[in-house]
Amino acid sequence: MPNETGKKPMLETVATFSIDRLAFLDEQGRAQGPLPDFANEKAELVRLYEAMVLTRTFDAKAVALQRTGRLGTYASSLGQEAVAVGIGAAMHDDDVLVPSFREHGAQLLRGVTMTELFLYWGGDERGSDFSGPREDFPVCIPVASQVPHAVGVAMAMELRRQKRATVCVCGDGATSKGDFYEGINAAGIWKLPVVFIVDNNEWAISVPRSAQTAAETLAQKAVAAGMEGIQVDGNDVVAVRHAVAEAVTRARAGGGPMLIESQTYRLADHTTADDASRYRDDADVSKHWVGEPVARLRSFLVEQEHWNKKDEEQLLARCRDEVEAAAEQFLTVAPQEPESIFDHLFAELPEETAAQRRSLSDTGQSDE
């Protein structure tokens, strides 16, 4: 635009950026070019496939338990299994996972038991006392609040000079929250060992991604924080595992943070308290079943002669048995005592709070 003198100002480009998209398997499960080394190993591909099938079987049982009044509100990961499983498979044992609420597959791969997950979603906080990954964070329901937490964990690793990484997972809706921007900004300026994964399933409850942001990609939000961003096909477990593994390796080596946008689709309701048919068409959901992650990898395995009908039948039976056993164990766990709500508030309860605990305990005894 001309200035007061009628002359155009001298403009120069001071920054440019581009966002790459990574994918290895197309919707039919066909390889698109060379695969990473691990994807040429039958055992590793089968491990990823079995983990996704187990996650989906667990998911179906959790929904069934909720519908019959034996579990609380539950967030399904149907259609998003490749994201969580890819994350769990890529992380090192001593890394720290800071999840949102659909990362069941990652948690199971990292050693959280199905019984513990059932307990958590049943309203029992003992389910967050993981027997496996003791430093992994529990499920986080408040949207984006886990992002600053992950930055704090990564800062602790940096201060302790530990060669570890923090992996933080959030949804597309979280990228509209201030917590997200504050977190990635801090991680970028301090070059912390943290990987942010945006699980873009196209819906933040009833709000579509198109109404969340005008940004062409969510990955480009990394640019403002001074870190690299990449977009991956979130229904391609090979792509997710590869991208996360590279980002984690880089973070552990002191290369700083990275943001990965994983494009997928939420095939189920937001939670069991939601009815997605009120705000999206069945036809739109149906078309996203094409290329969903489980069928996609199964097609590739079959094409490579790594999988057959007998393998599938045995896997489904094994997953069903494991999930049913975990559900039965969960249903036999005695409820916590009411006064347990005080147990983890303070190292030493203030007298006023201690009196409340004694009162509640005395009430329970008088009722017996």
Q: Which residues are known catalytic residues? A: 266, 270, 279
| Measured distance CA(154)–CA(156) in Å, rounded | 5
Alpha carbons 246 and 91: distance in angstroms, whole number = 10
By the 10 Å C-beta count (0-12 exposed, 13-18 middle, 19+ buried), 314 is classed as exposed
Cα 168 from Cα 114, distance rounded (Å):
21
CB 58 within 8 A of CB 117: yes
Phi, psi for residue 13 in degrees, rounded to 5 = -75, 125
3-state secondary structure of 246: helix
Torsion of CA 321, 325, 331, 336, to 10 degrees: -140
What's the one-letter identity of residue 214?
A: A
Helices (H), the chain: 42-67, 81-90, 104-109, 114-121, 146-159, 178-190, 221-224, 237-252, 282-287, 293-303, 309-332, 351-367
The token pair that represents 286 in the structure block:
């149906």
- The 10 Å Cβ neighbour count of residue 246 is 18
Name every residue whose Cβ is closer than 8 Å to that of residue 219 and which is 6 or more positions away in sequence: 19, 198, 229, 230, 231, 259, 260, 261
Residues 6+ apart with CB under 8 A from 253: 163
Q: In sequence order, what are the beta bridge partners of 197?
A: 169, 260
The 10 Å Cβ neighbour count of residue 267 is 17
